[in-house]
Structure 1
Amino acid sequence: MNRATLKKWGPFLVLLAFFSFWLVWKKPAHQEVHSTTHLAMGTLVTVSTWGVATSVEEKAVAQIFARIDQVEELASRQKTGTPVYQVNHATPGTPVVVPEELATILAAGLEMHTVSNGAFDPGLGFLSDLWGFGHGVPDVGKIPAATELAAWLHERKKNTDYGIKLVKEPGGAMTVQVDGYPFTLDLGAIAKGYALDQAMETMKQSGVQNGLIIGGGDMIITGSKGGQPWRIGIQHPRDHDKIMASSEIKGDLAMATSGDYERFFMVDGEREHHILDPQTAKPSRSGLISVSIQTQKAMTADMLSTAVFVMGMEKGRKWIEKMAGVEGMLVTENGERWKSPGFQGQWLEGP
């Protein structure tokens, strides 16, 4: 019988474990960085601004967090009554009218599913629950029975059409149809990035031109820090009190990191993590342990980091090289590292 052990962290490391990025700055004599943290979408979201009056910053932060909460109320599958919850709990095959904003998010996810040849999949909610990751990290790690995983794979392969459909009805309404088991809509690898994109738009509309928003493994930046770049540390995938790489960024840029160290449990020395491979119904064994993607939109970076993680080093690297405006930093479990020429960052520590 497998005995599971869960990674435990002290309070300080718990905070770090929520983030794949560290914000680093030298505090000037007159502090101009204001940072506020808020719990949303299952993680800690931190908003940092530079060089604005306190009154402007406080108003902007309140509006930013309100916008993020709006997205969560739209896209969460755990919260009772949200549009995604309603879609997943409707009679299988029944079209459900959804808000246009949710349709926009799902359309991006379905497109990424197609262009990634299924490496990115917004329909893994049931499988995620089977592994215990539907509500974070399970209290006691347990591998699903082989029969359960085999049944899920059998049903998936039996369906020649993807079991989640987005349709624009004749009257203009958008509907989503989920065919039921084994498909369950899960926008976890899309909505957080989308929320940060919306939060950044809100920040700019509020009069803040220099700022940074970090939520879990996603972040988005605008402007600079008093004319200097924002310095971002990317967490070491195996030593959580070390920074593996650093980025110095000015202007508008988003970055997302996916890793097997964010949400996982150990069973007999094997790391069982939350990035699931729909081809195996198990945590991805692509060989990658950390993937960072830089592009203009956080939602795009969010989806790409997941897809590339599932693809592995060779396929993922070639895919990144083909895409305009996309840069990547990849690390494998055996120590291989790769960084695209345009990636804004440098290595500090080995994996």
Structure 2
Amino acid sequence: MFQDISVDELRELQKKKPLAIVDVRSPSEFAESNIPGSVNIPIFTDEERAEIGTVYKQINPDAAMEKGLEIVSAKLPNFIKEFANLPEEEKVVYCWRGGMRSKTSATLIDLMGINAKRLIGGIRGFRTWVVENLEELENNFKPKALVINGYTGSGKTKILNDLQEKGYPVMDLEGMANHRGSVFGMIGKNPHNQKVFDLMFVERALELKDSPYVLLEAESKRVGRATLPDFLLNIKEQGYHIFVDLPMEERVLNILEDYRPWEFPKECMSAFQRIKRRIHTPIAAQIEKDLETGDYNSAVKLLLEYYYDPRYHYTAEQIAEDRSTVLHVKNVEEATRMIEEFIAEKITKAPTN
């Protein structure tokens, strides 16, 4: 018989062994919100779920259950096979609130000899856990912020990703939001909603809550569809800022490599139209022409010079000099190396009070 486990028990298990966390809700429910690292093996498709719901409303619950059993019976071999093909030996299943769908799924795979557990409360219970922990983190998040700042195209996200791979305490807020944080930031991405962002944020914040410092990018309150928690914004405002100063040519190349505008010409033009009126008319006309003809190098350079850089310059002036330093570097690799040196000299070796 499968075992029911709580969110806290799930987290403890994750520390001890590889787990396959399986969301058995419909694909649209999974896309709306899911537990970080989980996979979707739906017991019902969106259409099947709608059909069962109609039977429930128009006939009765018993008829809806019979319809559900009919659908599950037909797809049972493939459903079990998908679970069996997961590389992790132990599986944890969940649905909306730990009800019939996860109970049925856990029972079926358990009967087939697959080690199964069911998450108590489902994604709804996990969401409650997230909200409770967000409130607790507000008072118990100890790290000081080391904020990576710089003009658009300075490679800040790449720097943070490189540092995280090396084991530094990084909070990749843009990665959690799946958005680059600008009007062009969603191009080529499917931005996460607030629920998904909060799930990912709490997971990472709990890992880093006792770290002496945390590295993050100088984001505004909103990143795409997600809003940052106030306590993190306060930590960022009080933190130490490292400004990465890259040559214009390098910044343009970084943006072209990251955004690949030639693959998303309509999206780029649409994003530009949203800010066009804020740019001096002759320059805006040239940028629009460059986007139409595919001269993205010129378009990006003009956007930086006449839109992003002036806006950033004002924000940068608000940071006190005694809480900031500027790194004049040639490329992202040099910036990463100098930030590592700064951490080693000014933070990890700094005396404690």
TM bucket (normalised to shorter chain) is under 0.3
Q: TM-score, normalised by structure 2?
A: 0.21
More helix by share: 2
Structure with the greater relative contact order (CA < 8 A, sep ≥ 6): 1 or 2?
A: 1
- Greater percentage in strand: 1
